[in-house]
Structure 1
Amino acid sequence: MEPTAPQFDPVKYKNTTRDQWQETADAWFRWSPTLNQWLGNATEKMLDMAGITTGYRVLDIAAGAGEQSITTAKKVGSSGEVLATDISSNILEYAQKMAEQNGCSNIKTKVMDGENLSLEDGTFDAVISRVGLIYFPDQQQALKEMLRVLKPGGKVAAIVYSTPEKNKFFSIPVSIIRNRAKLPPPLPGQPGPFSLGAEGIIEKAFEQAGFINVKSELVDSPLQLSSASECLRFEKESFGALHQMMSNLSSAEREAVWDEIERELQTFESEKGFTGPCEMVVAVGEKP
């Protein structure tokens, strides 16, 4: 009898993901200025492609610490509203804190699973998700839920990483950890940072879920920091998935992995500092 091939466990994955964000919520909040610099252009492109304007009611899925929710809230103005949702209650506490710090009284937060939105049909003018859709175990279910809560003619816009080759600040650490921890390649259909990045993949996903007028644009999004060591600190503090990948390694082995990652990241240093290669895909679809 042939051995049974390993199967992806979506329930375990989702629970692990929730735990990771519960633990890294504070770090994600503290690194908000870096996130804004890194993803600001892609965020503006996402909001433009979604057609977000004054008075809109916008749903932000996998909102994290809410930095892009603030940008959206300022665009919709006092007559509009942003509902920031996430699977992690801890990270939404920081989103609420950030809203208060920015004087944005038009942001509400709610703990919610993006695959099972506890919201009424047809109640939002637009839905956004920044680097969130890639991590849903059932991306089709998440997209169909976004479609359901949209008003007719409303748009969903999402930001995802493109390919590993275009995102070496992240793909190199992932590759090193996978090699050191002797992890198998991702299973077919398994979510992850590059699960929607290949050409035509996210467009096909939107169309399959029922969206029309689907299109996407590439946005160069270099991660600019003072040094490779600062990039390493950013990833160690904020990217919980990297720690999860190393869960079976000893403390000494983990330190050796981080040392190797830093050496590789140093190839992106220059006299001007650290510039980590990153390319985002911004995709949009419309509800018929």
Structure 2
Amino acid sequence: MTAKKLRETQAAWDEVAAGFDEYATPLTISFAEMALDGVDLGPGVRFLDVAAGSGALSIPATRLGAEVVATDVSPAMVELLAARARNEDLTDLEARVMDGHALEFEDDTFDVSASQNGVSLFPDMQRGLREMVRVTKAGGQVLILAFGPPTEAEFLAFFTGAMQAAVPGFDGLPMDPPPLPFQVADPEKLRAQLADAGLNDIQIDTETWEMEFQSATHLWDVVVNSNPIAVALVADLSREQITEVQDILDAKLRERAGESGPAVLTTRMNIGIGTK
């Protein structure tokens, strides 16, 4: 990544960091806790989290006793991640600003290297994966959590449907090629990426992530703070259009929730694990 591109990427993620930490990370932690069952963690295990955001994967890994190093290109994300660790007195979690395309670690440093909706967003995902493999010890594991098809991400379908109904000319996300978060939506594409990066004994599982939304505002806040792509989607909306989108979302969520309680929207996720 060029110095200019690195600065642009840092700025884009810094802009959404506070909202990401407040809205996206709490939802994502629960899925991470489930996915971590697939790797060997415990006291003494050195665990690397690449493109860690504000800690949705790092925090539960540290709770399980691993010695965690979390990296992210965004200084704001790293500050928020470190704050989460301090709030829980998690002393075995180190947070560092770092470009995942060029990890500043020696070869064969970690027992497990992982990324949740992180490396799978890289324009050069293969380079990021190869870096993760490089710093993983022989016999160690690499874990990748990535979105399945956008058509099976209900939070996105609800949001884009409301946008299409409220905003003239909004056609939804371009899908040819798909947005980077969905570049390995096909499990076989994820398998091929992991194999090309040098991993063996690859296992790809698909799991359903159940996301609870308390209100239309909650869903709006999660989506628009989840990625710079979402920021661009809503940047030119008027206050009236935002209100209309949220009104439509409110009706959709009420219908899903039934009589009471939060609305549960499901998202298909791919979990890939390989051994170096």
Query: CA 1:167–1:182 in 2, change beyond 3 Å: closer, same or farther?
Result: closer
Query: CA 1:27–1:262 in 2, change beyond 3 Å: closer, same or farther?
Result: same
- Give the AA of the match of 2:23: W
Query: CA 1:27–1:16 in 2, change beyond 3 Å: closer, same or farther?
Result: same
Say how many residue pairs are matched.
Answer: 272
> 1:100 aligned to 86, 92, 115, which one?
86
- Match status 1:195 vs 2:175: no
**Structure 1 position 167, deviation (Å):** 1.0
**Structure 1 position 218, deviation (Å):** 1.8
- Give the AA of the match of 2:116: R
The answer as to whether partners of 2:20 and 2:226 remain within 8 angstroms in 1 is yes
Match of 1:217, SS state, is: strand
The answer as to whether partners of 2:111 and 2:140 remain within 8 angstroms in 1 is yes
Q: How far apart are the structure 2 equivalents of 1:16 and 1:176?
A: 30
- Match status 1:227 vs 2:207: no
Decide which moves more: 9-18 or 118-127: 9-18
Query: CA 1:124–1:240 in 2, change beyond 3 Å: closer, same or farther?
Result: same
The answer as to whether partners of 1:212 and 1:286 remain within 8 angstroms in 2 is yes
The answer as to whether partners of 1:177 and 1:246 remain within 8 angstroms in 2 is no
- Match status 1:28 vs 2:20: yes
Q: How far apart are the structure 2 equivalents of 1:10 and 1:276?
A: 38
Decide which moves more: 143-152 or 196-205: 196-205
Unmatched tracts of structure 1, length 5 or more: 1-8
1:19 maps to what in 2? 11
Unmatched tracts of structure 2, length 5 or more: none
Query: CA 1:126–1:51 in 2, change beyond 3 Å: closer, same or farther?
Result: same
**Structure 1 position 198, deviation (Å):** 1.8
> 1:64 aligned to 35, 43, 53, which one?
53
- Give the AA of the match of 2:18: D
> What are the equivalent positions in structure 2 for 1:167-178 lying under 5 Å apart?
167-174=153-160
Decide which moves more: 195-204 or 167-176: 167-176
**Structure 1 position 165, deviation (Å):** 2.6
Match of 1:158, SS state, is: strand
2:112 maps to what in 1? 126
- Match status 1:150 vs 2:136: yes
Match of 2:202, SS state, is: strand
2:76 maps to what in 1? 90
Normalising by structure 2, we get a TM-score of: 0.85
The answer as to whether partners of 1:136 and 1:191 remain within 8 angstroms in 2 is no
2:230 maps to what in 1? 242
Match of 1:121, SS state, is: coil
1:165 maps to what in 2? 151
**Structure 1 position 68, deviation (Å):** 2.4
Query: CA 1:167–1:12 in 2, change beyond 3 Å: closer, same or farther?
Result: farther
The answer as to whether partners of 2:51 and 2:73 remain within 8 angstroms in 1 is yes
Match of 1:67, SS state, is: coil
Query: CA 1:240–1:261 in 2, change beyond 3 Å: closer, same or farther?
Result: farther
- Match status 1:276 vs 2:276: no
**Structure 1 position 31, deviation (Å):** 3.1
Normalising by structure 1, we get a TM-score of: 0.82
